[in-house]
């Protein structure tokens, strides 16, 4: 007979406990334990496996090692983030803030694949079919190969998939889908886990590329247990400020490609538009002749991106100075300030320091260290930097400037945008020939870089 068992599960990490706890023992989050009902069916014997398969183990040498076939969309930025296109049978999770444009991106992608002759099924649990049609009219995403369904019952969704037999499936969103046999509310840990596992089986067995839309928490992480991200093949985050028109698509997990690539889109009245040259977008409002402003060449995957780095150093009114950074790790900022104080003799102990990456981009590579040091020194001395300079390089604790990877691509991007000079590590000049239309200044210490940039 079936027996109802009460348990408590964490909505953040999925940790289960027999009684309610204020603090989750797994992830340490407070007030995340929710009550769930579990149906336990007693069975006789232990010989019944959970998954039955007729496949036998085989030598890895005998397995075909060809490349995974991919379905390319018309969006080059999306193809770059996915590693070249959509892999049939893959399970993709897309997360982002409400209203950021997740449904718009997937509806445009669905239309692009349907226009190539693929059968696409778009299942929405948050909008009616009429609302989806109105949005498709606005985006120009109308084709007879695109099927739309408003359903949240997992059994009914399975019947629709069996009837349509799609090549591409979109579930918007996974938190609205529920399994009737699971005695929990839609969006709970048990429901999300069970529904995701069901869609994973459908994708793998039938070879259907499936995209799940996930809600995010206030911290920006995908809501639900962390197990959700481990089950899928690819995790994408759709980021951006709602008050700005551009959006960033970033991969944090990808079994079929790199996780360093980003795709940049611009939101308009007709939907999302790809940004072919993001450097021009991030530098379009850069002020000239202002202290604390520098341009840094950063690598986002295989693509160089030039962004503006702004710094403000001012006398503090507090017992301890404030250190705030946006777009750069504040620990890295504290390290650079310590190097400027110890190696360059700058007295910053009574100065507030603010560092910002213009445009809302997040830079997490060490090649931005030198530009940050020049920006802070420029604001502290109130000496403007030259508007035609691009700076990049890693800063060590002894004040040396270390070499960075892909210096040639960074220099070519700076030349393409009309910059006249590049201040970079001297050791990165080996093995390639700089372009003739731009001046290269190789430096080995921070003092040399400040003399070249502010001298």
Residue numbering of the annotated binding site for ATP? 96-103
Residues 311 and 28: their CA atoms lie apart, in Å, by: 35
User: Which candidate, 244, 300, 247, 252, places its Cα nearest to that of 274?
Assistant: 247
DSSP labels for 311-351? EEEEE-SSSS--EEEESS-HHHHHHHHHHHHHHH----TTE
- Are 160 and 166 in contact by the 8 Å Cβ rule? The answer is no
DSSP labels for 62-110? GS--PPPP-B--S-HHHHHHHTSSBPTT-EEEEEE-TTSSHHHHHHHHH
- Are 238 and 249 in contact by the 8 Å Cβ rule? The answer is yes
Per DSSP, the three-state class of 423 is strand
Per DSSP, the three-state class of 137 is helix
Binding-site residues = 96-103
Residues 189 and 9: their CA atoms lie apart, in Å, by: 7
439-443 β-sheet, strand order: 323-326, 351-357, 303-315, 293-300, 389-391, 421-425, 439-443
Residues 281 and 292: their CA atoms lie apart, in Å, by: 20
DSSP labels for 144-197? TTEEEEE--BHHHHHHHHHHH--SEEEEE-GGG-B-TTS-S-TTSHHHHHHHHH
Residues 100 and 113: their CA atoms lie apart, in Å, by: 22
Residues 444 and 435: their CA atoms lie apart, in Å, by: 21
């Amino acid at each position: 007979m079936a027996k109802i068992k009460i348990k408590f599960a964490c909505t953040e990490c999925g940790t289960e406990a027999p009684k309610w706890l204020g603090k989750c023992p797994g992830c340490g989050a407070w007030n995340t334990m929710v009550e769930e009902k579990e149906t336990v069916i007693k069975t006789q014997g232990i010989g019944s496996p959970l998954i039955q398969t007729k496949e036998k183990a085989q030598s890895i040498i005998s397995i075909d090692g060809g490349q995974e076939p991919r379905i390319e969309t018309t969006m080059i930025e999306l193809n770059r983030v996915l590693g070249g296109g959509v892999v049939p049978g893959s399970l993709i999770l897309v997360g982002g803030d409400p209203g950021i444009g997740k449904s718009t991106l997937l509806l445009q992608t669905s239309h692009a694949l349907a226009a190539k002759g693929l059968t696409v099924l778009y299942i929405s649990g948050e909008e009616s079919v009429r609302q989806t049609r109105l949005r498709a009219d606005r985006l120009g995403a109308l084709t007879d190969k695109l099927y739309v369904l408003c359903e949240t019952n997992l059994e009914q969704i399975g019947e629709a998939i069996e009837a349509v037999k799609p090549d591409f499936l979109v579930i918007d969103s996974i938190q609205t889908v529920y399994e009737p046999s699971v005695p929990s509310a839609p969006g709970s840990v048990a429901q999300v886990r069970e529904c995701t596992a069901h869609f994973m089986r459908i994708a793998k067995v039938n070879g259907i590329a499936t995209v799940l839309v996930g809600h995010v928490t206030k911290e920006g992480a995908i809501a639900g247990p962390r197990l959700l991200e481990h089950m899928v093949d690819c995790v994408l985050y759709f980021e951006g400020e709602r008050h700005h028109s551009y959006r960033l698509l970033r991969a944090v997990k990808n079994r079929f490609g790199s996780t360093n690539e980003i795709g940049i889109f611009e939101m308009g009245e007709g939907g999302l538009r790809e940004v072919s040259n993001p450097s021009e977008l991030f530098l379009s409002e850069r002020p000239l002749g202002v202290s604390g402003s520098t341009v840094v060449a950063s690598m986002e995957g295989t693509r160089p991106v030039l962004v503006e780095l702004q710094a403000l150093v001012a006398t503090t009114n507090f017992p301890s100075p404030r250190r705030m950074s946006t777009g750069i790790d504040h620990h890295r900022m504290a390290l650079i300030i310590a190097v400027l104080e110890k190696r360059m003799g700058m007295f910053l102990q009574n100065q507030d320091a603010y560092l910002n990456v213009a445009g809302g981009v997040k830079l997490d590579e060490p090649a931005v260290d030198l530009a940050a040091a020049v920006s802070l020194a420029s604001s502290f001395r109130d000496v403007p930097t030259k508007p035609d300079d691009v700076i990049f390089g890693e800063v060590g604790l002894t004040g040396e400037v270390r070499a960075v990877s892909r210096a040639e691509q960074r220099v070519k991007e700076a030349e393409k945008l009309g910059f006249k000079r590049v201040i970079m590590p001297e050791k990165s000049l080996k093995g390639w020939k700089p372009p003739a239309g731009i001046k290269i200044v190789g430096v080995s210490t921070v003092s040399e870089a400040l003399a070249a940039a502010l001298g």
